[in-house]
């Protein structure tokens, strides 16, 4: 029996020019990390693909599923690795079609990357097709939209035969588009926004604003569970947690009720930008969708945006709630985000929030308390949790050197989740 391997197909990477190899190498590194719990023998580039082979020679559907969730993967196929011997790869084609389940029609699709092999693709199609017709006499050959396609790829001195193939998430390998800071809550929107930017190759550094000490820390643990659900994508290396509850109370006493949410968000953006500067990130990311809630009108978005100078990315800005929830189901965060927990979003909420804020009134509210001191205090009290998920993530050099203002200290009053290192700075 031929070895079974995972043949990884990519699309967008193949459109790159002279730097294509950089994207391929990053994808290989990310696949190594995603498959670390599987008996992987090698992950290597071959002509236009990445080949994953395993100890024992039998790759599994579970491995293929993990691979399919890694950004940069367009499709993954469970293939039989054969020599150029015709009997061997024809026998593999029979086995692959037997494993395809119920079907009425099929076709053979051959490709040849190696011109050293004597047979043309049309000859390979005819050769393998004849064998399959003899083995499956009741099935019909159908060239357009068959139930099953048996692929025979000749690459270098090997032949890869498969019928089992599934889509990947596409995009670009994480680590090829720089670093961003994402404002992460335990709801539906921000995890999806984080995933969408990570899928475009960005390393994501989430910042979660907790209602602690006014609320329990449940939302913080839920955010960690969400990050673990996104682990196969390999896009997150660290989570920052900001205890925001007491500061929200101070804001609620100082500013008009209708402007509380805008003021909360201005502080959040300012703290997020400070973390981004520390991390060397190039943008902030939010889960805002235009008009979905009061703070997400164009006037209010503009009033919040002016507090930061970094670009603010909003990948969900044109999506509705149903689209966002469908994507949450696809990426595995839906059930977690469906849980109802108290966090900073439920604290001191106005009954009638302003939907079209005037900048003059916003500035007056902003100047009614010492916002600079508040932002400094929140940054000083920020905690972080490290996750061993993202091979592209590099922690800030300042923290490596124990910067006097941002030196990690032991996690206070918390038991860190297994596999995650926790600290304060």
Please enumerate, by residue number, every residue annotated as part of a binding site for ATP: 183-184, 208-209, 265, 287, 296
Distance (Å, whole) CA 273 – CA 138: 65
Q: Per the annotation, where are the binding residues?
A: 183-184, 208-209, 265, 287, 296
Instruction: Count the Cβ atoms, other than its own, within 10 Å of residue 353.
Output: 17
Sheet with 238-243, strands from edge to edge, namely: 312-313, 284-285, 179-183, 203-210, 238-243, 383-387, 420-424, 409-410
What would the DSSP string read from start to end of 135-150?
Answer: H-TTSEE-SSS-SEEE
Contact 286, 194 (CB under 8 A): no
Closest-CA residue to 288 (of 321, 316, 326, 328): 316
Distance (Å, whole) CA 72 – CA 414: 36
Contact 128, 108 (CB under 8 A): yes
Identify the bridge partners of residue 179 per DSSP, sorted by sequence position. 203
Token readout for 102 is: 């119920």
Identify the bridge partners of residue 109 per DSSP, sorted by sequence position. 151
Distance (Å, whole) CA 31 – CA 85: 30
Q: How far is CA 81 from CA 45, 92, 156, in A?
A: 15, 9, 12
Q: Greatest CA separation found in the chain?
A: 84
Distance (Å, whole) CA 247 – CA 36: 42
Token readout for 128 is: 């393998």
Cis peptide before 340 (omega within 30 of 0): no
Closest-CA residue to 317 (of 357, 286, 295): 286
22 torsion bin: left (phi>0), alpha (psi -120 to 50), beta (else): alpha
Distance (Å, whole) CA 166 – CA 154: 20
Distance (Å, whole) CA 356 – CA 368: 20
Can you tell me which residue has the tokens 């990690």?
408
């Amino acid at each position: 029996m031929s070895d079974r391997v995972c043949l990884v197909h990519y699309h967008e990477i193949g459109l790159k020019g002279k730097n294509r190899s950089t994207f391929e190498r990053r994808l290989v590194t990310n696949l190594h990390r995603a498959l670390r719990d599987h008996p992987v023998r090698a992950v290597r580039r071959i002509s236009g693909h990445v080949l994953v082979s395993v100890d024992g020679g039998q790759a599994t559907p579970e491995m293929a599923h993990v691979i399919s969730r890694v950004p940069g993967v367009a499709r993954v196929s469970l293939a039989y690795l054969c020599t150029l011997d015709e009997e061997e790869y024809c026998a593999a084609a029979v086995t692959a079609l037997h494993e395809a389940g119920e079907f009425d029609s099929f076709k053979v699709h051959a490709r040849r990357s190696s011109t050293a092999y004597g047979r043309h693709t049309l000859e390979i199609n005819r050769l393998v097709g004849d064998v399959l017709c003899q083995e499956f006499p009741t099935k019909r050959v159908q060239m357009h939209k068959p139930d099953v396609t048996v692929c025979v790829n000749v690459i270098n001195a090997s032949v890869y035969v498969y019928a089992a193939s599934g889509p990947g998430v596409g995009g670009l390998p994480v680590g090829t588009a720089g670093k961003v800071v994402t404002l992460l809550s335990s709801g539906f929107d921000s995890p999806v926004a984080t995933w969408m930017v990570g899928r475009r190759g960005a390393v994501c550094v989430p910042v979660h604003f907790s209602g602690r000490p006014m609320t329990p820390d449940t939302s913080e643990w839920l955010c960690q569970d969400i990050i673990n659900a996104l682990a196969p994508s390999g896009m997150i290396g660290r989570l920052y947690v900001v205890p925001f509850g007491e500061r929200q109370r101070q804001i609620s006493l100082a500013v008009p009720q209708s402007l509380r949410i805008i003021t909360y968000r201005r502080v959040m953006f300012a703290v997020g930008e400070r973390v981004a500067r520390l991390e060397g990130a190039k943008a902030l990311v939010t889960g805002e969708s235009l008009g979905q809630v009061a703070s997400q009108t164009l006037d209010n978005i503009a009033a919040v945006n002016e507090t930061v100078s970094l670009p603010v990315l909003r990948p969900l800005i044109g999506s509705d709630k149903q689209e966002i929830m469908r994507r949450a189901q696809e990426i595995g965060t839906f059930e977690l985000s469906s849980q109802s927990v108290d966090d900073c979003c439920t604290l001191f909420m106005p009954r009638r929030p302003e939907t079209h804020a005037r900048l003059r009134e916003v500035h007056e509210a902003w100047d009614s308390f010492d916002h600079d001191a508040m932002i400094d205090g929140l940054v000083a009290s920020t905690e972080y949790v490290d996750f061993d998920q993202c091979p592209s993530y590099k922690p800030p050099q300042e923290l490596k050197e124990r910067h006097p203002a941002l030196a990690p200290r032991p996690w206070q009053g918390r038991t860190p989740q297994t596999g995650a290192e926790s600290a304060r700075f």
